[in-house]
Amino acid sequence: MGGGSTLVPANAFKRGGKEILFKYRWFMIGADINVDEASRIKDVEKVNFLLSLLGRKRTVSTRESNSTDYQYENMLQLVENYKNRINFYNDDDTNTVTIKDQKNVENSCHEIYASYVNDDNNNDFPKLAKREHLHFLSKSFKTEFPGSYVVLDSSQTWILYWIANALMLLGVELEEEKEQIAKKVLVAQNNQYGGIGGGEGQLGHIASTYSALLVFSYSENKDFWSQIDRKKMYHWMMTDLKQPNGSFAMHKGGEVDTRAVYCALTVASMLNIMTPELIEGTAEWLGKCQTLEGGFGGSPSLEAHGGYSFCAVASLCLLGDPKTMLSKYCNLPNLIKWSVDRQGGIEGGFSGRSNKLVDGCYSHWIGGIFPFLEAAIQNDNNDSFKGLFNRNGLSNYILGCCQDIEGGGLFDKPGCRPDFYHTNYTLVGLSHCQHQYSFDYKKYELLKDKCLDAAAYCYDVKMLKDDSVIEFCKENMLRPINPVFGAVNGYVEAMRQFYFDSSE
């Protein structure tokens, strides 16, 4: 190679037996090259520079390839973001707990990502540890909980939902557990006052009722379904829960917030007991809960929060199509901005509030808002789907920073222990990453005059296979959910159809 030209080496490296080849060609610096080749040179130099910062000895390939490893590129970007982060505080400011915790989480995530990017042993990138998670979850159906779980006695229906829903997401069919699940729900039904409690003999609570009915749908048993007292349920909701301003209370005399509204609307929808009187003033009240930041608080004038925001947005999108409802009852651009801002540029995961730490559960509470946002701005031009949040980034956080790959289960951030709550909602968030939701406006037009909650059953879902949006990996795939209810697609719909047919 005369003339002083330098040949950029093309040493392709392997990761987990998979050869990684970037979309570059052999070229000679100093030779005549076109603009595209110049751009490729710049990109190669940038990647090699980043790798040199990490002490990586391998050289990025310049050979031609038809695919790019987007998961790797995203992780590399997270590492770069850490190194280029703006320091809003100096070493003298680290006496506050908030700053210490934020720096610790950033450092922990960076160490994990750098260990993969800077791995000279060619180990594969993190995969979903399905076998371990299945063991962690399934053993809970077969063994008694320790005595310390007595503090969660009022959360029995929630624990049942978290475990069953996570198993269903992982592809398990609950054949042996269906009858056990149904009986557990029915015995928690408060036959005297209405509603379903957290366990046997407890007062009805709308959040417990919501979780109980979700898991009840998995029983797929019409004989059990027919044993829910829907008339008493409706009377309880109208008498003890519905407020004059359109909101709902969690229980008689309980807290009033967007969680209660969401649970009340989904319960009414699943049981087909929704009426104009039940939802009067509800959308207007929800609209008052949006903050200047863009998210929703639990009630008017409270701070924007991920869980409350999901409940408010999902409630509005149960009552009507997302484009109309999110434009009419809230500031949609502000909501989009606030939701997008919750994703950490160093961690890849979501936080629930401004200046708070990322947490695996917000993969759903924030990630679950995006199916509605993306549906609200969808167009009919068949443009390629890009999405509003970084799916590869969230996937990297979940798979790299939130898994117990030995004992099973998922947790909120590095250094924490797994639990059922985080296992379920982090998996739901991963499912959000892997699927694209759109709203069927034609179907909605046909149904909206027949039922008040038609919008909840007009979401279409398809698996994303565009690696630039999220890298497709069969081992990591989960089942899709209904974005309104947070349950695996098809089961709530079947139960609701049963109640719809029973009402005719």
Per-residue pLDDT tens over the stretch 14-39 = 333 333 332 222 222 223 333 344 44
pLDDT for res 120:
61
Annotated active-site residue 356? The verdict is: yes
pLDDT for res 91:
64
CATH architecture, domain 127-503: Alpha/alpha barrel (1.50)
Half-sphere exposure of 10 (CA within 13 A, CB side): 14
User: Where exactly are the structural domains of the chain?
Assistant: 127-503
Q: At 437, which helix (H) or strand (E)?
A: strand 435-439
Annotated active-site residue 353? The verdict is: yes
Q: What is the DSSP string of 27-41?
A: -EETS---HHHHHHH
* Tens-place pLDDT, residues 310-357: 999 999 999 999 999 999 999 999 999 999 999 999 999 999 999 999
Q: Tell me the average pLDDT across 386-405.
A: 95
Annotated active-site residue 432? The verdict is: no
pLDDT for res 100:
87
pLDDT for res 382:
54
12 pLDDT more than 90: no
In the set 110, 133, 242, 353, the catalytic residue is: 353
pLDDT for res 176:
85
In the set 362, 397, 421, 459, the catalytic residue is: 362
Annotated active-site residue 135? The verdict is: no
Annotated active-site residue 361? The verdict is: yes
Distance, CA of 117 to CA of 109 (rounded, Å): 12
User: Among 46-55, 122-131, 247-256, 334-343, which is the least confidently predicted range?
Assistant: 46-55
Annotated active-site residue 57? The verdict is: no
Q: How confident is the model at residue 303 (pLDDT cuts 50, 70, 90)?
A: very high
* Tens-place pLDDT, residues 99-151: 889 999 999 999 999 998 887 655 678 899 999 999 999 988 878 888 888 88
Q: Tell me the average pLDDT across 42-54.
A: 45
In the set 317, 361, 401, 458, the catalytic residue is: 361
In the set 43, 119, 404, 419, the catalytic residue is: 419
Instruction: Please state the pTM of the whole predicted model.
Output: 0.86
Q: What is the rounded average pLDDT for all residues in the chain?
A: 85
In the chain, the percentage of residues whose pLDDT exceeds 90 is: 71
In the set 56, 184, 205, 305, the catalytic residue is: 305
The burial of 216, by beta-carbon neighbours within 10 Å (0-12 exposed, 13-18 middle, 19 or more buried), is given as buried
Q: Tell me the average pLDDT across 455-474.
A: 88
pLDDT for res 121:
55
In the set 412, 437, 479, 491, the catalytic residue is: 412
In the set 130, 178, 323, 356, the catalytic residue is: 356
Q: Tell me the average pLDDT across 66-89.
A: 79
- SS (HEC) of 277-329: CCCCCHHHHHHCCECCCCCECCCCCCCCCHHHHHHHHHHHHHHCCHHHHHHHC
Annotated active-site residue 305? The verdict is: yes
Are 428 and 481 in contact, with CB atoms under 8 Å apart? yes
Q: Which residue has the higher pLDDT, 212 or 174?
A: 212
Distance, CA of 380 to CA of 443 (rounded, Å): 15
